[in-house]
Chain A
Amino acid sequence: MTIKVNKFKCGYCGACVSVCLPGALELVETWIEVDDSCTSCGICAKICPVGAIEVSR
């Protein structure tokens, strides 16, 4: 289970990282990395200010 971040839309703000309960996300410098603790809950996709995240199940 994971998500897809559209790096062309993402503004690397880190908002998604703050709402991810299992801590699957990391804002490195100008990109988001996802690890395999992602449960595809969709919260990050919901709150991303620019809608850059798509959940894949």
Chain B
Amino acid sequence: MKDQYDVIVIGAGPGGSSAAKAAAEKGLSVLMIEKRQEIGDPVRCAEGVSKVWLRKHIEPDHRWICADVKGSRIFSPDGSMIEMAEEIAGGEVGYVLERKIFDRALACESAKAGADVMVKTRATGLIIEDHFVRGVKLMHLGEEREIRSKVVIGADGVESKVGRWAGIDTSLKPKDIETCAQFLMSGTGIDQNYCYFYLGNEIAPSGYIWVFPKGQGLANVGIGILGSKSGKKHAIDYLKEFVAKKFPDAKVLEIDVGGVPVSGSIDKTIANGLMLVGDAARQSDPITGGGIINAMEAGKMAGEVAFEAISKNDVSTATLGLYEKKWRQKIGMDIDNSLIVKDIFTGFTDKEIDSLAHSLEGVNFSSMSLLDLLYALFKANKKLLWDLRVLFKNVVKYELDFER
């Protein structure tokens, strides 16, 4: 094991592996460390991912694709259904993955590109000298060590400490996190061609229940509720209630739990010698909770910027600011728009959600983007959705008639 690398990546999720791969492909020496003994396990994900976006990063492989979905069915509290074809819901559906195998495949890609990988190795702190991050303190199989590097990339997920060690406060408030529980179930009898979403404050306060097909008659049945609504009852209690009613005969084969940041983009994701990516940088989508693709996008950008910075011999925030600029341009806008939508929708009563669903009756979704859908909703419900108008301001094709 070397004690000096160009780049150390902390965390081997989709964000970390994409960063490690991008940096290694540029010819940098890269070490990726992962505290778990098995990359990808336990899963904290519903495993839905957009096909289009996924293909930008990796060729789909049947070994980690469980289901290929055709669309989404969204149920409002009174049971009204909105059906959307894949292209619209495309943000989050398309394929349902097997994350245990997918995450390992991504790590393998970075290893093939030349990165060293160490599992059962936990970062316990940063080496900071003259206001620059210059390496990582770690614990490997009970032994403490220090490894130096020019750049550190923090891809340590929702529980991230890397940012905090460098003085970036990434702590989340209860209203900034969806707290989630999921069962992998057999015998739900769902149509494997669709992803299902159930809305309502009774069943999932300021969140939703999802049922994603996992092939061979299996399904991920999960729930996310806003942290500020959790307490007396926890996510798992709501999930058990739903499952008892909806799928009384289905069997639980696996339990997954987790938290998704829904804070929207945070002020700062870099320090001298340091970049944060993925859930560590709170880059998951505040409406859907989807974070796989954003983590991969950001990871790739961070790996490439690490190369530029090291080539220029300047790893200060002056150069790493390029990463910050790039990710805000590419994914930050969508994250911020989603935050606006989340803040509006989490305030609705069940009656209001029902009336929104009814207002979409008869609307043809076949060639709509998610923004088109929101615009259709907005037009039919201006009073309720007045605060959404900022989303459409800069989009030329929407005729803006901002009369309430």
State the A residues within 8 Å of B (CB): 11-15, 17-21, 23, 26-29, 43, 46-51
Contact = CB atoms under 8 A, between A and B. Distances in A.
B172 A18 contact: yes
B91 to A, nearest CB: 23
Contacts of B261: 18
Interface of B: 35-37, 42, 44, 120, 122, 157-161, 164, 170-174, 177, 179-181, 227, 230-231, 234-237, 255-259, 261
A49 B225 CA distance: 9
**What are the 5 A-B residue pairs with the smallest beta carbon separation, nearest first?**
A15-B259, A14-B159, A11-B257, A17-B159, A47-B227
Given A11-B257, A43-B174, 10 more contacts: A15-B177, A18-B159, A18-B170, A18-B261, A19-B227, A21-B171, A28-B122, A46-B174, A48-B234, A51-B237
A47 B35 contact: no
B42 A46 contact: no
Q: Is the interface of A mostly helix, strand, loop or mixed?
A: loop
Contacts of A12: 42
Given A11-B256, A13-B259, A50 B235 contact: yes
A12 B120 CA distance: 15
B164 A46 contact: no
B257 A51 contact: no
A25 to B, nearest CB: 8
Nearest to B280: A18
Contacts of B122: 28-29
Contacts of A15: 158-159, 177, 179, 257-259
Nearest to A9: B236
9 contacts: A11-B42, A14-B157, A14-B258, A18-B259, A19-B172, A23-B161, A29-B122, A46-B231, A47-B179
